[in-house]
Chain A
Amino acid sequence: MRQNWLEWVVLGISAAAVIGLVGFLLVDGVTDEARPPVPVVELQMDAAYDVPGGWILPATVTNDGDRAAEALVLRATATVGGAEEESETSIDFLPAGTDVEISFGFSGQPEGDVTVSTVGFRLP
């Protein structure tokens, strides 16, 4: 029925792809605990940079839960030049396990730590 080596290769890859996909989804479906979204923000102080009139702090957001968060709003707080400053960023969708790159902006490089809190999100 398979008449040359290429057809065998195609069949092999196809079967592996289908079994892999369905197998993964089945295992995921069985083990999924549907835990609520847990946004985790990792600030990248090393990658921070100056821009005209401000200072930008990149960060990576991941979701350690099982469910996705929609319209997630994150707020970073820091002290810049003696005054407290807030910076807000929103993310449309934060799926479980996926990294999303964001940046917070301040008027200058803050003194001390930058703290991030979750303002809120929607369960899709």
Chain B
Amino acid sequence: MVGLTVSKVRSVPQPRPSVWKTTRDLVRAAGGGLFIGLPLLFTMEMWAHSFLLPSWKIVLLLGVAFVVVVGYNAVSGFRRDRTWRELLIDSVETMGIAAVVSAVALLLLGRIGVETGLRDAIGKIALEMIPVAFGVSLAASQFASEAGAGEAEDQGSSVGDGAGVGPFGRLFIAGGAALLFALNIAPTEEPMLLGIEAEWWQVLLVVPATLAMTFVIVFLADFRGGRSLAVGESPLDYPAIETLAAYAVSLLVSLLLLWAFGRTDGASWSAIVGQMIMLAVVASFGAAAGRLLVGGGQDKQQQEAS
């Protein structure tokens, strides 16, 4: 959590929000949750993993998701001016809303019902609520038309004001986004097939290809939120080092997911490395997207202006 600015003191007192506004926030939260969660709600492997995974693994995944949600809420979230305690409570609320949304969705999709065993149903809700929670959290900022009073000009171009995010915070967001992206692929069989069927030289070529693409996306391709090659004070602010660090985080996220979904059980080392590198392609693009989202685009804009 290093480098994240949690409390942003606002001089203007917030007006007491009406029930109507709260309802609108809730609907947006549910909508955002479904935006991100629907692909996995429609993924067969996710339904099966609810009873294939041991309970403690699901709890561990929920814990990781919660940490990511806290991170997202810290830089965006429902309310900007809050203490650590409020941030944690807000994050529990994010998870709770996600649980309710995924439970209702699973009911409507006929994935849980009276014939479903309790453990099976709880497992499904707990797994599906992870992507939904990311969506609920993002909905608070990215999908909001008015990110807050006086902030209409940044229209969701970055998570709040990216200036408050340090290099470690950015790396954290990159990890969260990597998790969000890779989570969509990890439960399926494809990364396993890709990793196992790939020749060694293919795996070896995928690594530099991934690094090059993510480097270009963040620093050269002129995406919104992209940054210049300017070097900051922290070692992590060197574009090449940041790219490598984000890739390392992506590899770790991939390994965590492969392990969580039982893809490493009984697999050889070469199979694990192959799967990890293939899944990390997706994770790295997520990490790049996350870094674009928090931007730090200010310095680029300033540079272009001068």
**Is the CB–CB distance between A25 and B126 below 8 Å?**
yes
* A10-B22 contact, Cβ under 8 Å, with A18-B92, A93-B48, A95-B117: yes
Nearest A residue (CB) for B125: A21
Contact size class for B?
A: 35 or more
Interface range, A side = 20 to 34
- CB–CB B55/A97 < 8 A: no
What's the Cα separation between A14 and B16 when bound, in Å? 21
> Which 7 A-B pairs rank lowest in CB-CB distance, beginning with the nearest?
A14-B96, A97-B117, A29-B55, A95-B51, A99-B115, A98-B117, A17-B99
**B116-A18 in contact (CB<8A):** no
Q: Which B residues fall within an 8 A CB radius of A?
A: 16-19, 22-23, 26, 48, 50-52, 54-56, 58-59, 62, 82, 86, 89, 92-97, 99-100, 103, 115-120, 122-123, 125-126, 129
* B96, A13: Cβ atoms closer than 8 Å: yes
Is the CB–CB distance between A5 and B19 below 8 Å? yes
CB neighbours of A32 from chain B (8 A): 54-55
Chain A contact residues: over half helix, strand or loop, or mixed?
Answer: helix
Complex contacts, A100 vs chain B, CB 8 Å: 115
- Identify the closest chain A residue to B26 (Cβ): A10
Residue A22 lies at the interface, judged by CB distance under 8 Å to chain B: yes
Residues of chain A contacted by B22 (CB below 8 angstroms) = 4, 6-7, 10
A1 within 8 A of B: yes
Encode A100-119 as 1/0 by CB contact (under 8 A) with B.
Answer: 11000000000000000000
Known: A6-B23, A21-B99. A97 touches B119 (CB 8 A): yes
Nearest to A68 among chain B residues (CB) is B51
Residue in chain A with minimal CB distance to B66: A18
* CB pair B17 A3 closer than 8 Å: yes
CB <8 Å contact, B18 and A98: no
| Inter-chain contacts of B86 with A (CB < 8 A) | 1
Which residues of B have CB within 8 Å of A22?
59, 62, 126
Contacts A24-B118, A24-B122 given; 20 further ones with Cβ under 8 A? Answer: A10-B93, A11-B89, A11-B96, A14-B94, A14-B97, A17-B95, A17-B103, A18-B92, A18-B96, A22-B59, A24-B119, A25-B55, A25-B58, A32-B55, A68-B51, A93-B51, A95-B120, A97-B120, A98-B51, A98-B116
Asked if A96 is at the interface of the complex by the 8 Å CB criterion, the answer is yes
In the complex, A82 has a CB within 8 A of chain B? no
Q: How far is the CB of A111 from chain B (nearest CB, A)?
A: 31
What are the residues of chain A within 8 A of B16 when measuring CB–CB?
A: 3-4
By a CB distance below 8 angstroms, the chain B residues around A7 are: 17, 22
Q: Tell me, in angstroms, the Cα distance from A93 to B119 when the chains sit together.
A: 15
How far does the alpha carbon of A68 sit from the alpha carbon of B26 in the complex, in Å? 37
Q: In the complex, what residues of B have CB within 8 A of residue A5's CB?
A: 19
Residues of B within 8 A of A71 (CB): none
Tell me the A2-36 residues at the B interface (CB within 8 Å): 3-7, 10-11, 13-18, 21-22, 24-26, 28-29, 32, 34
